[in-house]
Homo-oligomer: A and B are copies of this chain.
Amino acid sequence: MADLVSALADIVGAANVATGDAISDDLTHDEALTAEARAPLAVVRPASTDEVAAIVSLAAAQGVPVTARGSGTGLSGACIPQTDGLLISFDRMAEIVEIDLENHVAVVQPGVTLAQLDEATAAHGLIYPVQPGENSASLGGNVATNAGGMRAVRYGVTRNQVLGLTAVLGTGEVIRTGGKYVKATSGYDLTQLIIGSEGTLAVATEAILRLHPRLAHGATVLIPFTTLDEVAAAIPRIVGSGVNPTILEYIDFLTMGAITASAGLDLGVPQDVKDAALAYLVVVLENRTADRVEEDVVELAELLTELGALDVYVLPPGAGASLIDAREKAFWTAKAVGADDIIDMVVPRASIPEYLAAVQEAAQATGSLVVGCGHAGDGNVHLSVFQSDPAIRTDVVSRILRGGAALGGAVSGEHGIGTEKKAYLAAIEDPTKIDLMRRIKSAFDPSGILNPGVIFD
């Protein structure tokens, strides 16, 4: 141990290695509701790719586990270190290396936060469009989990924005994948493979990100419906209409009540409409000109009225932003009122009503409360599970995940598997695929030191 710490200090300087009581509690957990905090053997704070490579080489030689951590805002336990392992913290690698206006890309270190990048891109009329709802999240973590968020219906998720990576393999070797271009067919796409691998294949130390023009005009539209089937039926019609929504969310009436109450938000919906509304759609339309936004709002309103909406509310700009903000904070609202677990399954979007029926059946069968909202355009349903008994909670979560899998869904749309959903993945997923993933991990990380126990055992 002393030898290891001394070797780490040789790499990053003694001031950038912490052990024992010097390790901040903040570094021992993420935001998963079910995960236990764990302190690592040592926290290491590298300042360069070369230093990361040296740390990983050292760890590989000694068989010491390595977990990488950005802001620690994950929801699946994937950045909680091993007690006998190292935690690489990226707070010293948090620079925007470049905003390239000709190629419309940003080059960032893993510790850069979404807030930091948003400010830098806004100055040039550009946007990095992945907004998973937590602006303090780091880009390194976003890459590791393939972060999504509300704007995915228009812009896609992290994997659609990352054009290239610098990454350290489990051998300590450094590779550079992709580049400042949006396409290539020159061997296997290692960039895509590393994205979403939750730190188990490689440690990303730099990313090339695609930027988009920032749209200057927008409107937030709130649409109550009496049934979820109507909401589900409206979604393909909205997407098919070509208005190309930036955000297309559904919120059930319980969640809507909770997030608006928590934010002290009055959206101007009359009580009789509130009483009749079982589910809401929230649609954000954006465009280059105010005229086009206005035209699109009119078209959307006509379409939704025809599809049975109780009413269509174009929210004043302040209220619109507050509602989106409150929706982004839905997780915190759920946590504050005592949710015991969260699920972010993805199903074919047309199967949302059937999936939610299965969810309610599972909730009733186990005496649990399950409420939710979701990225309706993507079929990514976020559920808060209230069930304090751990065994029953495992049962209800299993039932919910099996219900979605039967509809062709996947365990997680954007939170990842981490440690907290891996037992469910193992139970649901085809063992042939899990075995294949294990062999792929061995190709990147022959000694198995990178985030062991995450995604699969």
Contact = CB atoms under 8 A, between A and B. Distances in A.
Interface of A: 100-104, 125-126, 145-146, 148, 152, 156-157, 159-160, 169, 173-190, 192-193, 195-198, 201, 213, 215, 236, 239-242, 288, 292, 346-350, 378-380, 408-417, 425, 429-430, 432-434, 436-437, 439-440, 442-444, 455-456
A434 B190 CA distance: 11
Contacts of A215: 242
A317 to B, nearest CB: 20
Contact of A182 (B152, B179, B183, B197): B152
> By DSSP majority rule, is chain A's interface helix, strand, loop, or mixed?
loop
Contacts of A437: 187-188, 190
Contacts of A178: 410
21 contacts: A103-B379, A152-B182, A159-B192, A175-B436, A178-B410, A179-B410, A180-B408, A183-B413, A184-B413, A186-B410, A186-B411, A186-B416, A187-B417, A187-B433, A187-B434, A188-B193, A190-B437, A192-B192, A213-B239, A292-B292, A439-B443
Copies held by the complex: 2
A208 to B, nearest CB: 9
Nearest to A240: B213
A350 B425 contact: no
A182 B347 CA distance: 10
A125 B184 contact: no
Contact of A183 (B100, B148, B436): B148
Contacts of A187: 417, 425, 429, 433-434, 437, 455-456
Contact of A348 (B179, B183, B196, B197): B179
